[in-house]
Amino acid sequence: MRYLAISDIHANLEAYETVMAAAAPLGYDKVLVLGDLVGYGADPNAICDRIRALNPHALIRGNHDKVGSGVESSEGFNAVARSAIGWTYDALTQSNRGWLAALPAGPMAVDDLIEICHGTPFDEDAYVFDDLDALRAMHAARRPLCLFGHTHVQVGHYLSRDQFGLSTADDQRPLTISLDDASRYLINPGSVGQPRDGDPRAGFAIVDTAAREVTIYRVEYPVAKAQARILEEGLPDVLAQRLAQGR
Ligand code: ZN
């Protein structure tokens, strides 16, 4: 089985279309979506429509999906995120808002190998920022391979009997991480629509369960077009600017 894993699309239609076009020739059977379909970007309805039509094998909500659909208040958001999510709530059709509101929380088991979550397996809203966070998340995961999002940083941690480390120490992309049976893995496929690791290219991953490997990819997309859409909708300028920096 080959799974396409995507996360943190954030209503960036240009990035989403580019990722799907890049993933198609690589070949995959099913799609896993790790949450944050909306928020920040200018095309929340187009993204919801496309994901609904795609009908992913596994799909969980992110914090922006909760707030953007009215499930939760924007209390914990900073000023820019709050302004964007207010706009998102108003922009969403009633149908898409209702659909987003009904998305399940992670973690969600996909098969014997994989589970997905937005933030961590113990708290959908918690961030994995450092090694301690990663270890805690790996211990909470009920599958050897836990795919997560939320940080918008494409990264892979591993934990074997006596070693803990980064599978992504090499910054080359695409990068294939081989999964050995004795280790646990915590891998972020990267953000499709708002990367924050200094690389503005859209991120995604393909998990091949037969080959026991995960490959992470980055792909250039029309950033200027996504920026123009953000400004056109009157969203905060900084949301357009950060896309070019990948911050
Ligand atoms: Zn996000």
Q: For residue 43, what are the domain limits?
A: 2-245
240 vs 247: CA distance, rounded Å: 11
Report pLDDT digits (tens) over 56-91.
999 999 999 999 999 999 999 999 999 999 999 999
Cα Rg of the chain, angstroms? 17
Give the tokens for residue 144: 């050897």
Ligand 1 center to 196 CA (angstroms): 10
pTM: 0.98
Q: CB–CB of 189/6 below 8 Å? A: yes
Distance 85 CA to ligand 1 centre (A): 12
Task: Report the separation in Å between the CA atom of 150 and the middle of ligand 1, taken as the mean of its atom positions.
Answer: 5
Give the pLDDT confidence score for residue 238 in this predicted structure. 97
CA of 161 to the centre of ligand 1 (A): 32
Report the separation in Å between the CA atom of 62 and the middle of ligand 1, taken as the mean of its atom positions.
7
What is the pLDDT at residue 169? 87
CB 145 within 8 A of CB 185: yes
Task: Give CA–CA dist 151/98, Å, rounded.
Answer: 26
Q: What is the pLDDT of residue 65?
A: 98
pLDDT, block means (10 residues), the chain with 247 residues: 98 98 98 98 98 98 98 95 97 98 98 98 97 96 98 97 89 95 97 97 98 98 98 98 97
Tell me if residue 58 falls in helix, strand or coil. strand
* Residue 140 three-state SS: helix
With CA atoms as reference, report the closest residue to 27 among 216, 212, 207, 218: 207
| C-alpha separations of 223 from 37, 182, 227 in Å | 18, 41, 6
Q: How many domains does the chain have?
A: 1
Query: CATH code at 187?
Result: 3.60.21.10
123, HSE (Cβ side, Cα atoms, 13 Å): 7
What is the C-alpha separation between 154 and 218, in angstroms, rounded?
9
pLDDT value for 23: 98
pLDDT of residue 89: 98
Q: What is the reported pLDDT for 161?
A: 86
The helix (H) or strand (E) run that includes residue 116 is strand 114-116
Distance 8 CA to ligand 1 centre (A): 5
- Predicted pLDDT at 162: 78
